[in-house]
Amino acid sequence: MQISEKTILGKWKEYTLKNDMGMSVSILNYGGIITKMMVPDRNGKKENIVLAYRDYQGYELNPHYFGALIGRVAGRIKGATFTLNNEYYSLEKNDGENHQHGGSDGFHQIIWETETFQQKNTVGLILKYKSKDGEAGYPGNLDVVVTYTLTNDNQLRLHYTANSDKTTPIALTNHSYFNLSGNLKETVKNHEVMIDSSQFAELDKHLIPTGRLMKVEGTSFDFRTIRKLGTGFKGDFEQNKIAGNGYDHYFIFDHTKEYNVVLKDPTSGRVLAVKTNQPGMVMYTSNSLDEGQELTDISSSKYLGICLETQESPASLEQKGFPTVILQAGEIYKRETIFSFKIEH
């Protein structure tokens, strides 16, 4: 197990965690951004399996949130407002009339305090941040700790804890775009996906949940048995069309299977299995990814990556039936998502 660090652009630190199996993960203290994830294919060839900018300057704006920690609330808040305990809160409108991913100065744009650790079979990075009462419009002084742990079993564990002195909304996630082909050789159209979910949130034309939970059965959203991702890109289902001929939807987990999500690339043999105590996940298939941005291996294009944003749903601020984002004052927020990387021969 190894940890190395280097200075980036004279102002950030990048930490690289490496296990004894040759897998490595590189993370910035800026935004908690995962900049590289080197994972072997079925032939033992190690390649990067996340989208990343060719030049680090791209992360200064990072409009697509590549690899970043998202907070205080991941997802979209309708009208950039919410009411809590009879108090009205107004947030930044950074997605049309709505508030998205904690605002333009959210957790993806801050310098986190960092601390590394190394044990016999694990190596990791702890990130800490104190978000002050009123920051980005949210109530409460919020203490957040996020831990990235890499194991010798090729697991990357993301552990989130937080507490606030006022009742407040919170939904933390990581916004890495995965592409298991390695070094962005292909889009994710031929990736195969299993999601342990029998219902998802219907979206309106602004990508805001309508309040209706739809059954996946008989639709291109039925991933209860593994299926090719691209089948939903070219279908006639209205919900795929609304999202730009893809997916940008919240799935509620049934928690009936060993893993909540399994992602496979048949060509490389890489498999990503996801296990979490989060109630659901936004699956986003980079339908709105701008073309022409210089990434590590090629220029950006639609369907180049898939985000598996395990989280609660901000729709719960105004709709019933969604997993709540409300953290009570003095309560401990504790979530974990484990990404396990395997090989299928």
Structure token digits, residue 304? 């180049």
Cβ–Cβ under 8 Å, residues 53 and 293: yes
Question: What span, in angstroms and rounded, lies between the C-alpha atoms of 335 and 266?
Answer: 31
Domain count, the chain: 1
User: Residue written as tokens 């291109």?
Assistant: 220
Q: What is the mean pLDDT of residues 8-26?
A: 97
Q: What is the mean pLDDT of residues 219-235?
A: 94
Amino acid identity of residue 75, one-letter, is: G
| Model confidence, pTM | 0.97
pLDDT given for residue 234 in this prediction: 85
What is the helix, strand, coil percentage profile of the chain, to 5? 10, 45, 45
Q: Give residue-wise pLDDT tens across range 82-91.
A: 999 999 999 9
Mean pLDDT for all residues in the chain: 97
Q: Give residue-wise pLDDT tens across range 138-158.
A: 999 999 999 999 999 999 999
Q: Give residue-wise pLDDT tens across range 78-131.
A: 999 999 999 999 999 999 999 999 999 999 999 999 999 999 999 999 999 999
- Predicted confidence (pLDDT) at residue 290 exceeds the cutoff of 90: no
Catalytic residues: 175, 309
Q: What is the mean pLDDT of residues 313-338?
A: 97
Kindly report the CATH number assigned to the domain that includes residue 245.
Answer: 2.70.98.10
Cβ–Cβ under 8 Å, residues 161 and 189: no
pLDDT confidence bin for 292, thresholds 50/70/90: confident
Q: What 3-state DSSP class applies to 302?
A: coil
Q: What is the mean pLDDT of residues 237-260?
A: 97
pLDDT given for residue 158 in this prediction: 98
pLDDT given for residue 242 in this prediction: 95
CA angle, residues 242, 225, 207, in degrees to nearest 5: 15
Q: What is the mean pLDDT of residues 64-88?
A: 97
Considering only residues 244 and 290, tell me which one the structure prediction assigns the higher pLDDT.
Answer: 244
Question: What span, in angstroms and rounded, lies between the C-alpha atoms of 25 and 39?
Answer: 9
pLDDT confidence bin for 137, thresholds 50/70/90: very high
pLDDT confidence bin for 163, thresholds 50/70/90: very high
Q: What is the mean pLDDT of residues 154-181?
A: 98
- Per DSSP, the residues of 186-231 read S-STT-EEEE-EEEEEEE-TTS-EEEEEEE-TTSTT--SS-EEGGG
Distances (CA, A) of 146 to 113, 126, 290: 10, 6, 29
Percent of the chain with pLDDT over 70: 100
Residue 153 belongs to domain spanning:
2-343
Q: Give residue-wise pLDDT tens across range 33-62.
A: 999 999 999 999 999 999 999 999 999 999
Distances (CA, A) of 284 to 178, 193, 287, 289, 311: 10, 12, 8, 10, 13
Torsion of the alpha carbons at 97, 309, 269 and 294, rounded to the nearest 10: 40
